Chain A
């Protein structure tokens, strides 16, 4: 018994080491550049693929293997530098989180490029020379390579500590992590600093991937499989904190190893449960520190201008088109139009907390999905008609907003965003695993509209009225005193509190509003599709919402609407027309990011301002 538990613990340590390697790169990059680097998983995957190519091409033996691993990590570092210089460097001044959009474009491109280079079949690398076998620990066999990995984690942590505490470059990096503006003011070359930090982070990601070669198969799903977990580790540890990341990786590795002994089905959600608990107890992670000082805070956004006559005119024209044209279009066009209307509302609801509220959400799909499930569960278990289902959707989403929001709005920045993600994943795994009620991943079928709304045209108008109506209500709220109070809390929390505004309550109410609006969108989506699945609240849908808001321009009120139109339309067209649609979509996103760093509407606003 004891020997089994001991070896179980050792297995947990090995997983923790692998996780730490990836997370360390992510946390170093985030600490200095404040970039939420979605492409970190892609760098990890490239490390694995490149090392596979090198190790299988080089002669067998120690030099061929370890050389291949190191060279692969260095190549990944160079790729990271290219991404930084060609893409990210150009958009550091963009609004917070905008870089996320660019790195997501990179993720899509890498997925298709890897498929083209290495083919669809999983690849199995050779085992590490000298570490092929196993040792007996109290009579239980344990792989040598896992022992080696257990050692790699602390060694890398130690080397990084030396690098950051014993070299001039490392000191500068730590200074920049603490206070970027001050370091810039002292004359440190920030460009060089950012590029080298990106190189280091990418090398660590590449090394993490390459060292998996003797352990796991190399496959095209590696990137997305690791990225969420890596972020969880970084956030649990505290953003930018290397020892924190190490501690978090240890914690997760051990909880995973022992957790599955008691609850074998907990694997889906364990990491997110731990993150939720840690963030509720310690809002800045285990070893993270609150942002240093007030002057390091972000630049205050300009107030939203009320709609100019031109914008009003354009808005009315678009609405007139949306009302008048569809009767003359085919059924499929109506399906797409309905979907676009729903996505406009979904994006607008996320923008409501993200723009005026200043609080990004990585888990907004939870409320969309809960709305859909609210409607579908009523239909399934009580045979409720559509009218009732559409009423239940915002209720269910709103209720989740009340509960989750209460925890989330206490936090700020990426911590708050990750806590929303944790709650979304908990909701997702509930829908996924509670098979008796939700049907599990096979979903709920037969959620079709009432007879009168069956014709696609009628349903389209129903969706249009609800979506435009709720979107306009959200817009009204932004320009109402409530919206001003919300923005006051975002831009200057201290002053807002000083004049008697309850920042927590205002943000909480805003969060609930956003959840309700997303729930309306989710309910409509359920009846448009006829079925509901856990994918409705999975991470990709949350990412879609973020992309739409960022693409349109988070600092504008019409941004999410334009972003939703553009993204849904481009996505649908490309997916239908090209086999390599991810490559095209990724390239389009990267191009848009480079040319419109304020988002589409932000760029349009600048253009008109310049004309004046």
Chain B
């Protein structure tokens, strides 16, 4: 068994075993405590959980980690951070999980991260986008996989700055994610193109957009470009009203997350065309790794993967890579293994790294334009934006994150 391991990993593993003499039986499965808003956000998290099970089964079929199987205990927080914290306590104390993972909503992610910090446990946040998770409120025990709000905004600004549009309007859901996306977009775009002007902003309540009035308010300001952050049901309603009222005609639209199948698929043949978006072109992405992932997923679940599937699959890959590297489930060893860990992504692109400096992974996103093909929305002219190119310099990161 040790022969198959790279030598350094084996040595590290041995060291870790010595450092913590027989805390847990080494024979049993390694347990992961996964907390997510399964009942509150089923559209994203059903494909997420599918891919999670797929990844776990693949790892176990290939012999697990040094002969130990991995097992996941799923808990539903119902979208409430206080329930997530209770589950975290239960998973750590009763279920004896080695580490915590998951999180969809930013506040749930922050609550679990703070719990992890207080209880000295590793937390691998998969989905929460808030910058605070690794910067303003970052801590030693928390790592985050997905490209953050800042990173995705930076990717879009790069494209937006090339457009002729000078007068911009923004529309975003009225909570932290929407507010910070708008703030970053304004700041970064102004830096790239000092003569832009922001002429209107709308902040509809999440899930309760009054689409007609919102569209009309934006149109009234007569912008040349629109930055959209709404997603899910709000996006659908916004697009419907906007297309009927001609809001998007002769205007550039730059839109966060809209290229993700979770949000593009429901729009069907009413998907907007020509929007610049971040997302996931699952159909056309034919890297070797992704083709394998897509076909395996389709074979097992009889549908195509969503972005949530990729997030879950990559989270498991990262955890598995980390466990192979750490050689044990002692928290400090696992954190050391996470820092600078490289692991493959289901996108099939270059390996992703968990940066030691702020515990953010360099997973990227795809940037492209939306178009209609065979009666549904797809991404075209896309390219992979590697996350590592859209992060501030190390000096800036050090000022953003509490050091020490």
Interface residues of A (CB under 8 A from B): 4, 7-8, 11-12, 14-15, 111-112, 115, 120-124, 133-134, 140-143, 145-146, 215-217, 219-222, 225, 229, 256-257, 260-261, 264-265, 267-268, 330-332, 335-336, 339, 432-433, 435, 440-443, 445-446, 448, 525, 529-531, 533, 535-536, 540, 572, 575-576, 579, 581-582
CB-defined A-B contacts under 8 Å, sample of 21: A11-B210, A11-B215, A15-B213, A111-B39, A124-B236, A140-B219, A143-B241, A257-B216, A261-B217, A265-B174, A265-B203, A268-B205, A339-B86, A441-B107, A442-B106, A442-B107, A445-B137, A531-B85, A533-B111, A575-B75, A582-B39
Q: Decide: A530 near B233, CB < 8 A? Known: A4-B216, A267-B204, A445-B137.
A: no
Q: A540 — which chain B residues lie within 8 A by C-beta?
A: 80
Contact of B220 among A4, A143, A217 (CB under 8 A): A4
The number of chain B residues with a CB under 8 A from chain A is: 68
Residues of A within 8 A of B212 (CB): 11, 14-15, 143, 146, 257
Give bound CA distance, A199 to B270, whole Å.
Answer: 35
- Enumerate chain A residues within 8 angstroms of B205, measured Cβ to Cβ: 267-268
Chain B residues, Cβ within 8 Å of A260: 202, 204, 210, 213-214, 217
User: B93–A215 contact, CB under 8 A?
Assistant: no
A535 to B81, CA, bound (A): 8
Q: How far is the CA of A120 from the CA of B270 in the complex (A)?
A: 20
Bound together, the chains give a CA A244 to CA B208 distance in angstroms of 23
What separation, in Å, do the CA atoms of A256 and B204 have in the docked complex? Answer: 10
A67–B237 alpha-carbon span in the complex (Å): 23
Contact call A217/B266, Cβ cutoff below 8 A: yes
Of the listed residues B82, B201, B236, B246, the one surrounded by the most CB atoms of chain A closer than 10 A to its CB is B82
A143 with B245: in contact, given A267-B205, A535-B82, A581-B39 (CB under 8 Å)?
Answer: yes
Whether a CB of chain A sits under 8 angstroms from the CB of B383 is no
Q: How far is the CA of A82 from the CA of B195 in the complex (A)?
A: 63
Cβ-defined contact, A576 with B75, below 8 A: yes
Chain B residue nearest to A115 (CB atoms) is B42
Determine whether the beta carbon of A122 is less than 8 Å from that of B111.
Answer: no
**Given A216-B236, A256-B213, A267 and B220 touching (CB < 8 A)?**
no
Q: Which residue from chain B places its CB closest to the CB of A575 in the assembled complex?
A: B76
Nearest Cβ distance between residue B136 and chain A, in whole angstroms?
9
Give every chain B residue within 8 A of A582 (Cβ-Cβ): 39
In the A-B complex, the 9 residue pairs with the smallest Cβ-Cβ separation, listed nearest first, are A120-B42, A11-B212, A217-B236, A331-B93, A4-B220, A122-B266, A257-B213, A332-B93, A445-B114
Q: Which residues of B contact A124 (CB under 8 A)?
A: 236, 266-268, 270
In the complex, which residues of chain A have a beta carbon less than 8 angstroms from the beta carbon of B78? 575
* Cα–Cα distance between A7 and B110 once the two chains are bound (Å): 42
Please, which residue of chain B has its CB at the minimum distance from the CB of A535? B80
Bound-complex Cα distance A547 to B265 (A): 38
Question: Judging by beta carbons under 8 Å apart, are B233 and A216 in contact?
Answer: yes
B115 at the interface (CB under 8 A from A): yes
Indicate if B296 sits at the interface (CB-CB under 8 A): no
**How long is the Cα–Cα vector from A442 to B129 in the complex, in angstroms?**
12
A216-B240, A529-B111 given as contacts; is B233 within 8 A of A134 (CB)?
no
- Whole-angstrom distance between the alpha carbons of A530 and B137 in the complex? 14
Across the interface, do A264 and B86 meet the contact criterion of CB distance under 8 Å?
Answer: no
Point out the residue from A12, A121, A440, A575 that lies within 8 Å of B43, measured CB to CB. Answer: A121
| Contact, CB under 8 Å: B111 / A445 | yes
Whether B114 pairs with A4 at a CB distance below 8 angstroms is no
Q: Residue B76 contacts which of A335, A432, A579 (CB distance < 8 angstroms)?
A: A579
Smallest CB separation, A533 vs chain B (Å): 5
Known: A268-B205, A540-B80. A336 touches B110 (CB 8 A): no
Known contacts A339-B86, A572-B86; 8 further A-B pairs (Cβ under 8 A) = A111-B39, A120-B42, A140-B245, A260-B213, A264-B217, A332-B94, A432-B175, A535-B107
B132: A residues at CB distance < 8 A: 442
Contact check, A576 vs B90: say whether CB atoms are below 8 A apart.
yes
Return B319 CB to nearest CB of chain A, in Å: 22
Distance to closest chain A CB from B149 (angstroms): 12
Known contacts A335-B90, A442-B107; A531 and B236 CB within 8 A of each other: no
- Which B residues are in CB contact (< 8 Å) with A265? 174, 203
A residues near B86, Cβ cutoff 8 Å: 335-336, 339, 529, 572
Query: Judging by beta carbons under 8 Å apart, are B244 and A143 in contact?
Result: yes
Q: Is the CB of B179 closer than 8 A to any CB of chain A?
A: yes
B247 to chain A, nearest CB (A): 9
Contact B46 A215 (CB under 8 A): no
Tell me if A122 and B43 are in contact (CB < 8 A): yes
Beta-carbon contact of A531 and B110 below 8 Å: yes
Interface check B176, CB cutoff 8 A:
yes
Asked if B210 and A257 make an inter-chain contact with CB atoms under 8 angstroms apart, the answer reads: yes
- B246 contacts across to A, CB distance below 8 A: 134, 141
B:354-371 near A, CB below 8 Å: none
Provide the residues of chain B in CB contact with A572, threshold 8 Å. Answer: 86
List A contacts of B204 (CB < 8 A): 260, 267
Most B Cβ at <10 Å: residue of A121, A133, A579: A121
- Residue B185 CB within 8 A of the other chain: no
Docked Cα-Cα span, A270 to B404, in Å, equals 44
Interchain CA distance A257-B219 in the complex, whole Å: 13
> Which residues of B sit under 8 angstroms from A330, Cβ to Cβ?
93-94
Q: Which of A15, A268, A530 is B118 in contact with, Cβ under 8 Å?
A: A530
Chain B residues near A268 (CB-CB < 8 A): 174, 205
Asked if A533 and B107 sit within 8 Å, CB to CB, the answer is yes
